[in-house]
Structure 1
Amino acid sequence: MDSIFSIQSEEEFNTAAISVFQYQFKHVRVYREFCNLLNRTDPKDYKEIPFLPISFFKTHTVLSDEYRKKTNLVFKSSGTTLNKRSEHHIPSTELYERSFLPTFSQQIVPPENAIIFALLPNYIEQGESSLVYMVDFLIRATQHSLSGFYLSNPKALIEAIQKAKTQDKTIVLFGVSYALLDFAEKNIDLSGVKIIETGGMKGRRKEMIRSELHEELKKGLNVSKIFSEYGMTELLSQGYTDGSEFFRPPNWMKIMIRDVNDPFHFLANEKTGGVNVIDLANLYSCSFISTDDLGVEAGKRFKILGRFDQSDLRGCNLLVN
């Protein structure tokens, strides 16, 4: 575990990825069967490792045999009554916390220096959300009385943010897109607040391209930029934007862009294709996932352009760009 979170080079990443693959091939039954069917069982480089389609998290228990009787925490994706929710079985919350805490601290702000608010009503309503777990942890880590979830009382949230502005702290607001738009339409002044939109209208509003969404939010909330998070139930790691359109993953997470017509061929920088994710924090499930997202890699950063047709509309930041 320690070697995963101390990766500093491509060589170290490759060594860790091969080690994680070998563990998961041995202990994660569905992944082993998948690799056997592909006849790809002995990769020497992380680029040769098979990527499990993300839909398997809906149809199978993607979990190490060592922990099948030891896990009692299951994160579930957001969804509708028409769609089965993906499930990510979590035997170790320590892995999740060791992933999201340093990433948030480095890319947004150390929580002890912040006051954090959350406007995530649909995630609370559906329950079993990895995003809610993360934000709750970060809120508690601020150790500040103003930090918290604000669901159905916008007036209380506005008052709390105004009080927070008198403190010598960075103010952060996590918000689902439709709830932030509700605020923006009321022309509520959130200047000085780092707003992190977590994507998705969840059926409450018409879907929008991200650039259009951000322009409306910036205008209505009186902020110069909007931050975004790329994360999903099936991943224990995230990437954030700095107000631009590009996400930056941590060192133990890598984005690879596959050819939409040949899933074993990876594209060069600036080429659009399917998004494959290596998330080494997914140690006890599967670290090698073929997502339903379309994206572009740009050096160590990446951009999400949308989703494949007929994919479920769910998760964080799956708006078309």
Structure 2
Amino acid sequence: MGEKEVLQGLKDMMKAVEADEAAFQNLALQLFQYQYRHNPPYRRFCQSRGRTPRIVKDWWEIPAVPMRAFKEATLSCNDPAEAEAVFMTSGTTRPGKRGKHVHPTLDIYNRSMLRNFRQRFMGARDVLSMGILFPRPETLPHSSLAHYLSLAVREFGGEHSSYLVDGEEVHFSRLLHFLREAERSGEPCALLGASFHFVHVMDFLEQEGLSFRLPEGSRILDTGGLKGQSRHVDPDVFYAGLAARFGVPRHRCINMYGLTELSTQFYDDGNETVPSKKSGPYWIRTRVIDPVSGEDVPYGETGVLVHYDLANVHSVLAVMTEDWGKAVEGGFILMGRAEGAEARGCSLAAEEFLRSSKG
């Protein structure tokens, strides 16, 4: 099966009302075959593990590339020079060494984001005025989050939507105008952005002695990860602060978990309790593994998260993260960055990829 057939199969899956395990299995194996054929570094990695399309019979047997591999090789089935977009990691953990995810076209990425966002964040509403606490795509052209938020505004943002960041700094007067107008109008609105910007905003509001009560039905989306760009805040304190400063109940404070290396995002259903359960749409699956053995850990125990994202058509569908978590009914609990044995296992996997991918 070629690229066109895989793309059509995925588009059909994204239109479906509910999950179809057989369809996921079939498309995952077809996509693995396509990526094995057209992605040379990935093919060499698979060969080193003795996993080829003739041998692999189930989606969970498809070799997962360690996340760090995106910093060491161009994992693309197409010519990167002709890409519509190249999203890059922030480089906060390894300055000067940024991972890159090549997107020859953003069609599937956009479909995945919009279908999932509508269901998990918008709920019954078609439009919300949105205040965006993150730079515009023109400022950060290689940021997947900047693109994600611009899509949200373009497709779901009301007429009073506004970017509340200039360059990379919060524009506080514009922020206050947005919040006051939302209170005055009585129409539900949304604040969306990076968690560290929310910390800066809450610090500012506390300093100014300000708080707001946004209209019933308003909601907040934060994207997690302070990444050294603000003071550390305990998650329970963070969500209590959002509720207190904006008058948005914690069950309307949604956290999105996404990675540059993926084309699909995970969401929770609010943060009345933390850590919250994350889940994704039916074109993505998650395993929790021991990174050294590659085997699933017993249900409910902690391991490293591996995501199988069918929307990663043009790179690799299976990505082993450096995040640890545990499986729960209907999703997983994200526990943070891998530490100790888990971190060493991730490093070993990355070293194995480096050795094999060079040919």
1:318 match: none
1:240 match: 267
Matched, 1:11 2:34: no
- Select the structure that is richer in strand: 1
1:317 match: none
Moved more, 267-276 or 68-77: 68-77
2:100 match: 87
**1:147–1:200: structure 2 CA closer, same or farther, 3 Å change rule?**
same
Moved more, 287-296 or 109-118: 109-118
Structure with larger Rg: 2
Match for 1:228 among 243, 252, 255? 255
Match for 1:139 among 134, 146, 153? 153
2:4 match: none
Q: Which amino acid aligns with 2:147?
A: Y
Q: Which amino acid aligns with 2:322?
A: D
Q: Which amino acid aligns with 1:10?
A: E
How much identity, in percent, do the aligned residues show?
27
2:347 match: none
2:346 match: none
Matched, 1:195 2:195: no
1:31 match: 42
Gapped runs of 5+ residues in structure 1?
312-321
Gapped runs of 5+ residues in structure 2?
1-6, 344-359
**1:50–1:256: structure 2 CA closer, same or farther, 3 Å change rule?**
same
Q: 2:213 and 2:202 mapped to 1: Cα distance?
A: 9
Q: Which amino acid aligns with 1:180?
A: F
Q: 2:101 and 2:314 mapped to 1: Cα distance?
A: 10
- Give TM-score, length-normalised by structure 1: 0.88
2:65 match: 52
Shift of 1:255: 1.1
Q: 1:90 and 1:284 mapped to 2: Cα distance?
A: 7
SS in 1 for 2:219: strand
Q: Which amino acid aligns with 1:188?
A: S
Aligned residues: 309
**1:231–1:49: structure 2 CA closer, same or farther, 3 Å change rule?**
same
Shift of 1:49: 1.0
Q: 1:301 and 1:48 mapped to 2: Cα distance?
A: 20
SS in 2 for 1:173: strand
- Select the structure that is richer in helix: 2
The 5 A counterparts of 1:125-274 are 126-142=140-156, 144-151=158-165, 152-165=170-183, 170-185=188-203, 186=205, 187-192=210-215, 193-225=218-250, 226-244=253-271, 245-263=276-294, 265-274=295-304
Match for 1:102 among 89, 92, 115? 115
Shift of 1:130: 0.8
- Give TM-score, length-normalised by structure 2: 0.79
Moved more, 79-88 or 252-261: 79-88
Shift of 1:69: 4.4
**1:163–1:194: structure 2 CA closer, same or farther, 3 Å change rule?**
same
Q: 1:142 and 1:12 mapped to 2: Cα distance?
A: 30
Q: 2:212 and 2:108 mapped to 1: Cα distance?
A: 37
What is the root-mean-square deviation in Å for CA atoms of aligned residues? Answer: 2.4
Contact 1:269/1:299 (<8 A) preserved: no
The 5 A counterparts of 1:114-129 are 114-121=128-135, 126-129=140-143
Contact 2:304/2:323 (<8 A) preserved: yes
